Every structure is written in structure tokens, then in C-alpha cells.
Homo-oligomer: A and B are copies of this chain.
Amino acid sequence: MSLNVGLIRVVTLEDEELLNLHGRLLEDRFGLQVESKCIEDQPEGIHDEATERQAIDKIVSLAEDFEGQSKDLIFISCAADPALEEARKEVKIPVIGAGSSCASIAMAVGSRVGVIGITQTAPVAMKKILRDSFVAYLRPEGVNNTLDLLVEKNRKNVIDAAYKLKDLGCDVIALGCTGMTTIGIADHIRRQVDIPVVDPLIASAMIISHIGHIY
């Protein structure tokens, strides 16, 4: 019997297809059953401390909704793990965050972790786990959002960033944004640079799909 996952998107998405993008991937590749909900009135999502504070209560409230619907587990699909601690306090079912999952899996496969993302700095939620194993964070040139990753020149810059991290002695790369999953950038890096790459959405699915072994 497949797990019933309540997935929280931390950006307001009117388009059903966009809303379900992360969930669809978990369903297709990991056999999970996923319902996605998004927070209201934040079409630009979380991009600084103020917008993160704004989102906390909304995320916790969605988590409570999902618990009321008898979901097996809640997944906050953002590498910044917004409201992860808060949601864990309010609901009794497991709550998994993409950032801590990604950092954790990276720690299991390597000991010198480089992070590539599209934000100005690496997600605090990931650095908190990586600690001394964190080597460096790079935002590839020209990349400020996931759409930029579709531009050929920018994809080359991603590869350059990965090579730079490898040169710095990194033995694994962790991706610092769930938006990087859906465009397949992990495979692209892996193939070209020959280094293991941990994707936040995939790392979460690795944990979620076996959560019954822990709880």
C-alpha cells in the first residue's frame, strides 16, 4: 500500500500543473500518493526573513489540514525547510523537509559537501546540518531563478560551478533549491562532472518512501 503524502508548496500557485509538479515526480518515480497544497497570498514565495515569517503560520495550518485528512506524512517541499520545527510541534505525524533531507543524504555519501543553488546564500537549514562538512556555496553566474537554468549559457555556468566545487575538494554536491529538480540539472552535472549529486526532492523521497522503517 503506497504512502499518503501531504505536500506543501511554499509559494502561491494558481496553475494546477505547477502546483502538482513536485508531487507528480514523487508519484512517478517513487510510487508515493501525493496531494499538494500551497500557501495563500505569497505568489513570490519565500525569499527573505520577512516572507519566511509570513509563511510560518500558513505552513503549520496546512500541515494541520493534512493531518486532519489522515495523511501518513507531511512534506515541506522547499530546501529552506520553512516552519519545519514549528509544524513538527503541532502535528503528530512525521514532517520531512527538503533541505534537511538533502543535507543529510549528502553527509551519508560524502564528507566534503559543496552546495549549488539559485539564492544568494546556502539555505541555513542545510548549513546547520552540514556544519564542518560544508565546503562552499556557489550560485552559478546568470542564475537567479529556475527559469534561468533553461538557458544554455547558464547551464554551462552550472557545470563550471560544479567543477569549481570539485577542485575545492568536494566529494559530493548538494542542490540548494527544489526548483532545480524538475529541470533535471542533477543528471546534467553528474554526467558532465563525474561527481555524486544529491537533489533535495529526490533525497526527501528516499527518506519518505521508507519512513515506515523509522516511525
User: Cα distance A213–B201 when bound, in Å?
Assistant: 11
Interface 1/0 per residue, A145-177 and B, CB below 8 Å? 000000000000000000000000001100000
User: Cα distance A152–B117 when bound, in Å?
Assistant: 51
Contact segment of A12-20, A33-41, A63-71, A97-105: A97-105
Q: Does A91 have its Cβ within 8 Å of any Cβ on chain B? A: no
From residue 18 to 56 of chain A, which have CB atoms closer than 8 A to chain B? Answer: none
A207 near B131 with CB under 8 A, answer no
Instruction: For A133, list chain B residues within 8 Å (CB).
Output: 129
User: Cα distance A198–B108 when bound, in Å?
Assistant: 14
Interface residues on A, range: 35 or more
Q: Hey, which bits of chain A sit against chain B, CB under 8 A?
A: 85, 88, 94, 96, 100-101, 103-105, 107-109, 111, 129, 131-133, 171-172, 190, 196-199, 202-203, 205-207, 209-211, 213-215
Number of copies: 2
Q: Please tell me which one of the listed residues B85, B109, B172, B215 contacts residue A190 in the complex, with CB atoms under 8 A apart.
A: B215
CB distance from A113 to the nearest CB of B (A): 11
A190 — nearest CB in chain B belongs to which residue?
A: B215
Instruction: For A213, list chain B residues within 8 Å (CB).
Output: 199, 202, 206
User: Cα distance A209–B207 when bound, in Å?
Assistant: 11
CB distance from A37 to the nearest CB of B (A): 22
User: Cα distance A100–B106 when bound, in Å?
Assistant: 10
A214 near B105 with CB under 8 A, answer yes
A102 — nearest CB in chain B belongs to which residue?
A: B108
CB distance from A82 to the nearest CB of B (A): 15
